[in-house]
A and B are shown apart, each in its own frame.
Chain A
């Protein structure tokens, strides 16, 4: 489309758009140095990884151009598809949009025992939107309501296809868009077998015709291509925009054995008996409980090890994908709006989609670390305008 025209510039981690896929096992220790060669301050946040404050990559940790930041943390959590992205105050949206995002897969023995598809049959899909000039330059023109691009990109690829064998594939999907919510479905109406989300495997896997994903959310799905004729084309589609996102092209191959037994199940501790209830109103496009984010202000404290009930409300201007650092949570209820908790919201979550007129209740417990964390709207333009708050986890 833009052959022979101007250079296409992105902001990339290690010259890769999206960034390289980091993979590690539970119990291993990550030692990572972030080098900032951007013309702006930045810091990396490990979205979904529960780490201490100094390793969390919060706005106050941002380093200037030419600076470095060292991370050193044990990966002490269950298998899941996490991700990493910038988190500097007021600049996260622009930096993620320019290309700074990547996946971070954690594996563990429980997941390994499920015999899920691996190798070439385990494919990460980082889905986002973007707008381009005719010369191929990324265009970012955010508004207070967010930013919606004109085309979809998957793993940085526009109009992508994937040649697939007659096999079951595992797709680890991330909504890496700044503001766009995706409603994923297959063009032939075939089911996607949902096995996991932000926090890893679900209590029980299930077939889904459609999966909605807010910004920052992940889903883990199996798609069975074994029974299609060679040459069949199936589209992964966004039901909300009508976009065709990714074309699967079934090849003329031998059928690949599938060793997992469905449904996939996982024992997940159920949080209960909250001792504190807190209510957070996501107001307009810039505030939580009437306050715009200030980097040096702590808005509430939480006792470590204590189960709390957090209630998220909105007066409008949703969607507000609510993301909490420092712990995962379990969604208890949603009233108003869509008025239900969806299958992809079972188990552990770190981000939950709050639509207009909805009230979402979650249970959360901060087990691992004391220190300072943030909660914010993951519509990145909202976050940048101040829909974020600091809180502190303290010992009892």
Chain B
């Protein structure tokens, strides 16, 4: 597919887009918590990938190259804007209902029974909120590891970080997520018992 794209095969370009648009957009959306902005960054990411396809070196895994470009786009934006702790229910910086809607994560229906859906959505929402609380570099690592399923070595390569640092970030991110979820669980129990 990549070899065909390098030869200018438009079908291969479309295939790359079809295969990566959702994971790249989802990563960017979770990183910047703004749908319109995530779309802009995803568009820039793919333009960069497809226009630069000839510079892609096959010794690097293609998906790693794609996510490296996407993650750099998100991190560059976050460094410029310092938007790093935004709630599932919209950015605290949002000053109008439109901005609040634009910065609220939109969780789609997953086709479960009503009770399962409520439970899954509650837990999914809690995890999304917890991820939103992480430092951007922890957030990248945990999303690339657990949502995208990349190996530690691939993540180190993507983020230009030593392997040990990636392991540390993922370890700390998991602990922070677990602490956040436990705190939330305890608060819910206290509220129900009150």
Answer whether A and B are interacting partners: no
B interface residues (Cβ-Cβ under 8 A, vs A) = none
A interface residues (Cβ-Cβ under 8 A, vs B) = none
